Structures are given as structure tokens and as C-alpha cells.
Amino acid sequence: CRSSYTNKNNQCPIVLRITYQGDSRDICTRLNCDPNLWNSDAECCMGNSPEAADLNANLKEIYYRCKEQFDRMKYTGRAFTLGELVSKLKGSGNKPQTIINYLKAKTHELNTRVGIDITVATRQKYLRCIKHMEDFLKLKFRKTDMALVSITNETIQDFFYFLRVEKNNSHNTSVNYIKCLKTVLMPAIKHGIMYHDPFYECKITPKAVMRGCLSTEELHKIQDLTNLNEGVENARDIFLFACYTGMAYVDIQQFSKKHLIREPDGSLCIHKPRQKTGVLSFIPLLPVAQRILENYSPTGDVMDFRWYVISNQKINGHLKTIGQLAGINQKLFFHLARHTFATTVTLSNGIPLETVSHMLGHSSIVMTQRYARMSGYRVKEDMKKLMGLFG
């Protein structure tokens, strides 16, 4: 209680004194007390009056707020000065960072990297994440934004269930949005902008998905379809080419004759870096895939092939028609071709997992294991080796 100054009510101002590393600083609390009622040892106002009780409650709140701020800055592991602590307590530091601003800054950064090391689809995923977060904040908190320091583990969990229930996303799609959020927030956690990690002990993990694929018989049914209109036939051929090469849609869209290499023995191979990972895919061209390209060459030379790859959505629309015409029960979509190449075309015919991984352009063999599952035929063939031993 600073008794050197008295206001018109004969009360003196109360200051908060902070001492840190041998330096002290006083902060005005804007609270006042009768100097005769001030207990300097207990640092509170004496008496049982409601005014004294309110004053002491306010002082206690100020003390705990100060200690909480000090602890937050201490546990970041970053050195700080008394001036920085006082600035935080006075609220005169940097404007609090918000989650929407952080997400938008990340998207702006991604805009400069599109076509270099990320795809347009990656940027679009972050844009959708922003939109979902804005909708979540409006519904849950009736806000348009939220300070990063306010985000807790519970907030992350609530956002996940918002994505599942309100936005009707699948479990794994919702997990991917949480991963986007974590990517954006980790720098804020590391630099001490956030005082805690809301993802710590966050039990949101992807579920294992059974990857479908076409059987050899189903491939032949699609291949044997006739009397298709030009659009459907084109979609069928591009899909089959993906089934026999394992190429993803975006890579087939970029595919041209510069990616076809004729080996010294006369065989053809595809050399193309994957758009998603940048890893070079090396794919020997099967005769059936070569014939598909020859059908689209005006000269009959496979190197002169010319085709137009329509959008993924349109191809999937045509694949629905193709599946009905071929009498295939499972849903056809373009990425199914990549699973089919990994399982039916290669692994089921004895091609080692490491070789398949190289052809698919995976950065890790673990990815290949997720895409491919052994067919019953291959299991039977392998088990025949044991029949004689355990007859």
C-alpha cells in the first residue's frame, strides 16, 4: 500500500511489486485501501466489511493471474526478461494470435509452394479446414475466431466430433483435418505462443481400412466390354492403364511420351516422379498397357499416343456405368486401379513387396503394405510348399 499518495477518499493505491533476477518493477492495480487497515505482512486489507472482502478477493485474483503468466513463460523453456513479463501482465504485448489467422497464414504459405513441393489438393484441404473451423467456432462458441491460448484438448476433441457429426465426414477424413490443425499449431506450441500442447494425449487416430481391389476375372470383364460410347470407352481404357501400371490419377494426367523410355533390349518402361512424393516410379510397361497406348496413337507407334484425361469426378461417373455393364458388385472408383495393380497384378503373381513399392513410387515400404493385401490365390500357392512337410 503506497502511503506516499492519498486520494480524495483518504485511501492509498495498492501496487503489485514483482522481483525477478534481482530486478523489481511496480504495477498499479487501480485498487485503493485505507492505509490504517492495510496489513503489510499478510498483504491484504484487515476487517470483515464487504468492501474489505471484495478488495482482498481482487488482490488474490491479481496475484494468481500474475503467477500463472510467470509459470507459462517459465515452462516454455525460453529465456525472458522482467520487462517482457510486465508487458504481458499489462496486456501491452503482441496482439493475441488466433487460430483462424494462423490457418490463413499457413494457407498463404502453401500458395507459394503449389506446383513446387505440394499439390493444389493439399492447399484445398487447408482451405476446407479453415471453413470447418469457422463453422465450428460459430456453432460451439458463437465466435468468429479464438485465441490460440484458449485451445485445449477438449476443444480438439469437440472439433473432431463436429467434423464427424455436423459435417458428416468419415472417421479418417476427420483425422486428416485434425492433422492439418496440428501442423498449423505446432510452431505456436514450440515458440511459446501457446503455453501447452492441446494434442498431448489426444487419442484421435486413423482406423485401419480394408483396401479393395479388382480380381483378374473382373479386370477381364471390364476389358471385354464392347459397344461403349467414346467417353465411357476412354474412361475404361485410362482406368485399365492405371490397373496395369499402378499410376495415380494425377500422374496419369501428367503422363506423356517423355516419361516413356525404351530400354536397350527394346522393352518400354515408365520413368516418372510421383506428384505426391517426388519419388521416381520405375514401371516396366506390360504388353496389355502398351496395346492401350497404341490404340490412342495415330501412327500406331506407342510413343505417339495422344489421349485426353477428363476430370477424376467424370471418370468416376463413367466407372459407375462400366461397373454396371460388367456386372461388378463393388463400387468402382479411379484409385481402385492402384490397389488392383499392387494386389492382383503384382503381389498375387509373386512380385516382391520391395519391387512393388519401387514401381508405386512409395517413399516407404510401409505405405505399400497399407495399399496391398495378399490374395487368397497367392496364399494357397505359398502354402503348397508346406503341404509335403506337414502331410
Can you tell me the distance from the alpha carbon of 92 to that of 364, in angstroms, rounded to the nearest whole number?
49
Q: Among the listed ranges 70-84, 160-174, 317-331, which one has the minimum average pLDDT value?
A: 70-84
Specify the pairing of strand 12-20 against strand 23-33.
antiparallel
What is the per-residue pLDDT across 118-172, written as a single tens digit (0 to 9) for each?
A: 778 888 999 999 999 999 999 999 988 888 878 889 999 999 999 999 999 999 9
What is the per-residue pLDDT across 277-315, written as a single tens digit (0 to 9) for each?
A: 788 889 999 999 999 999 999 988 888 899 899 999 999
Whether residue 230 is predicted with pLDDT greater than 80 in this model: the reply is yes
Query: Which residues, in sequence order, are CB contacts of 199 under 8 Å at separation 6+?
Result: 153, 156, 182, 185
- Which band of pLDDT confidence, cut at 50, 70 and 90, is reported for residue 21? confident
Q: Among the listed ranges 178-182, 208-212, 370-374, which one has the minimum average pLDDT value?
A: 370-374
What is the per-residue pLDDT across 340-349, written as a single tens digit (0 to 9) for each?
A: 999 889 988 8
Hey, what's the cell of 288? 496389355
% of the chain residues with pLDDT over 90: 42
The pLDDT value recorded for residue 391 is: 61
The pLDDT value recorded for residue 207 is: 86
Alpha carbon 83 to chain centroid distance?
Answer: 38
Can you tell me the distance from the alpha carbon of 81 to that of 383, in angstroms, rounded to the nearest whole number?
70
Whole-prediction pTM? 0.62
- Which band of pLDDT confidence, cut at 50, 70 and 90, is reported for residue 28? confident
∠ CA(194), CA(200), CA(205), 5° rounding? 125
Whether residue 364 is predicted with pLDDT greater than 90 in this model: the reply is no
- Which band of pLDDT confidence, cut at 50, 70 and 90, is reported for residue 223? very high
The pLDDT value recorded for residue 178 is: 95
What is the per-residue pLDDT across 40-66, written as a single tens digit (0 to 9) for each?
A: 899 999 988 988 998 998 899 888 888
